[in-house]
Amino acid sequence: AEYVRYIAEHNIPPMRGAKAAINLPLLFEPGERWEYGISTDWVGLAVEAVSGKPLDAYFQDHIFAPLGMGDTVFLPDEAQAARRAATHQRQVDGSLVPVPPARPRHPEYFSGGGGLFSTLADYQKFLRMFLQKGAGIVSPETVAEMSRNQIGGLRAGYIPSANPAVITGSDFNPGQDSKWGLGFLIFPERGPFGRNAGSLSWAGLPNCYFWIDPAAGLAAMMLSQVLPSGDAGALKTFFAFEKVVYAAPRAAA
């Protein structure tokens, strides 16, 4: 609520890709509590400053090309744009209606925290990288640090709703004292459907969900384009998907 009021009073665009959107004041001092925010956008700006490259070029040279992620870009070409999945909004009666894309074609800056277009096949290559101890993209030590609790006794994972049409108010791991690594929600306990303690997870706004379970040697995801985030129908589908994943026989690692 404070965020919505602040951007309204200061005419700040509430979207990634607009420079004014990342110049927001702190809600609290670092280390006091966990909050969903724009820290990864600032990491992207830091990468540009250190490397001397625009973030899209850095990602292409150091992540996408080495992993063979040829369909992952900030600015899709005409052929890629024609394959974009349409976003739909859940209505009160349960129906879905299409909504026009809201992201600007040419953002003011490339966001480290969002803005990429990709495919299931490409993103699975990215997730497998973490099961392969970084696969030469990042070091095994970096993967271990990304997977380690970085917030001490604080709890992570709950995102309150500032706009119910966009997000319902989501808890990505209800009933557990979830932690936060470097970019991942960490599951401290075994989940109800088989997900092991130490699994890593996160989500995208239109009910896109992934998790990495190092103990089981698997990475999985469900991608949709349905709003609001936390939609009951999308979550029901995701939980059913997770049950199927862990019930299916798998080859020994």
- In sequence order, what DSSP letters do the residues of 30-90 get, joined into one string? TTS-----SHHHHHHHHHHHHHSS-HHHHHIIIIIHHHT-TT-BSS--HHHHHTPPPEEEE
- The size of the chain, in residues, is 253
**CA triplet 6, 11, 17: central angle to 5 degrees?**
95
In the sheet that holds 96-99, the strands lie side by side as 96-99, 87-90, 226-227
Q: How many CB atoms lie within 10 A of CB 124?
A: 16
Q: Which residue has the tokens 């909504």?
A: 99
C-alpha–C-alpha distance, residues 133 and 174, integer Å: 29
Give the total number of structural domains in the chain: 2
Whether residue 162 sits in one domain with residue 112: no
CB 25 within 8 A of CB 6: yes
Strands 170-171 and 158-159: antiparallel
pLDDT by residue (tens digit) across 185-235?
Answer: 999 999 999 999 999 999 999 999 999 999 999 999 999 999 999 999 999
Show the DSSP H helices in the chain as ranges: 2-10, 39-51, 55-59, 65-67, 78-82, 120-131, 140-146, 232-247
In a domain, 217, yes or no: yes
What is the distance between the terminal CA atoms of the chain, rounded to a whole angstrom? 47
Look at residue 249 in the predicted model and tell me its pLDDT: 84
Same domain, 178 and 210: yes
Give the per-residue pLDDT at 11. 53
Provide the pLDDT confidence category of residue 251 given band limits of 50, 70 and 90: low
Which structural domain range is residue 30 located in? 1-73+107-118
The answer on 208 and 124 residing in a single domain is yes
| 140/226 same-domain check | yes
Tokens of 70: 């040829």
Of 83, 118, 153, the residue at which a domain comes to its end is: 118
- d(CA 222, CA 172) in angstroms, rounded, equals 14
Same domain as 236, residue 157: yes
Q: Is residue 93 in some structural domain?
A: no
Examine the domain organization and report whether 112 and 235 are in the same domain. Answer: no
Q: Is residue 18 part of a domain?
A: yes
Does residue 53 sit in the same domain as residue 4? yes
Does 98 map to a domain?
no
**Domain shared by 233 and 126, yes or no:** yes
Please indicate, yes or no, if residue 99 is contained in any of the structural domains.
no
197 and 231 housed in the same domain: yes
Instruction: Give per-residue pLDDT as tens, 22-65.
Output: 777 788 898 999 998 888 999 999 999 999 999 999 999 999 99
Residue 216 sits in a domain whose CATH number is 3.40.710.10
Radius of gyration for the alpha carbons in the chain, expressed in angstroms and rounded: 18
